[in-house]
A and B are shown apart, each in its own frame.
Chain A
Amino acid sequence: MTQDENKEGVGGMINPRRYGIERVAYWLMRLSGLGLLAYFIGHIYETSNILRGQVGWTELLEMTSTPFFHIILSIVIAMCVFHTVNGIRVMLGHGGIGVGKPSRPDYPYDPASQNYRHKIGIYSAIVLAAVAMMYGLAVLFGE
């Protein structure tokens, strides 16, 4: 097999079925980051409507106070919590916390940094995001 035939490109990079939960966390981190950036830009534009006075602001609130926007906001809450908790895990890992001691690489070459501590961190981020989303739904639909 030549090098070109073996090259999977972006398709290989985005494949979430390999490398375990760490690859899933890698993708969720990027997707949640992009989602939050899109929301942030939208939020800045949305809040600028206050410059249109009370009528403009009320029109905007009427437009966004729908079940569709409430669900979008709940997803944003989940993305925010996951991005924060997983981001703290990544920062700790970059600082050498929870990655284990350096040792001689022996077969089957399990990466020391991909240990149970970081796996717990990833699963915790997913669970906390789900709980926060439920809370968000309760607040938004419980008005």
Chain B
Amino acid sequence: MRESTIMKIHYGTALAAVALVAVHILMRLTMNFAESLEYETVLANYKFIPYALMLELILILLSVHGFNGLRVILLELKQGRTYEKAVSYGCLAAMVGLIAYGSRTIIMVNMGMV
């Protein structure tokens, strides 16, 4: 993929994540902070499908943005064909792994498998 396309994705995921993370944080502030982290409250959040979908979207957006950012930083430090490929595929694998791990939590709690 062209670097210009990757940067557009980087900026797009950033803007979308800012909006959704703001909603995610505001949900913590709709009640007392400690109360919002109680087991029953968190469980109810996960079981509310629109909120679970938003969490999944945040997970994907931040993983793509975060690991692409890490890739950019690592490519600034050192260059070389093998190094660049290793960094790009390594970041891609880490991104997929994190999305899979986070999705597992969201899906299992949403489906009542706790």
Contacts and interface: CB of A to CB of B under 8 A. Distances in A.
Interface residues of A, number: 29
B11 A50 contact: no
A37 B113 CA distance: 28
Contacts of A44: 59, 98, 101-102, 105
A50 B73 contact: no
A50 B110 CA distance: 11
Contacts, number: 64
A33 B68 CA distance: 11
Given A37-B67, A50-B42, 13 more contacts: A33-B69, A33-B70, A34-B73, A37-B66, A44-B101, A44-B102, A48-B105, A50-B39, A50-B43, A51-B105, A80-B21, A94-B11, A140-B33
Interface of A: 10, 13, 30, 33-34, 36-37, 40-41, 44-45, 47-48, 50-51, 53-54, 57-58, 61, 65, 80, 84, 87, 91, 94, 139-140, 143
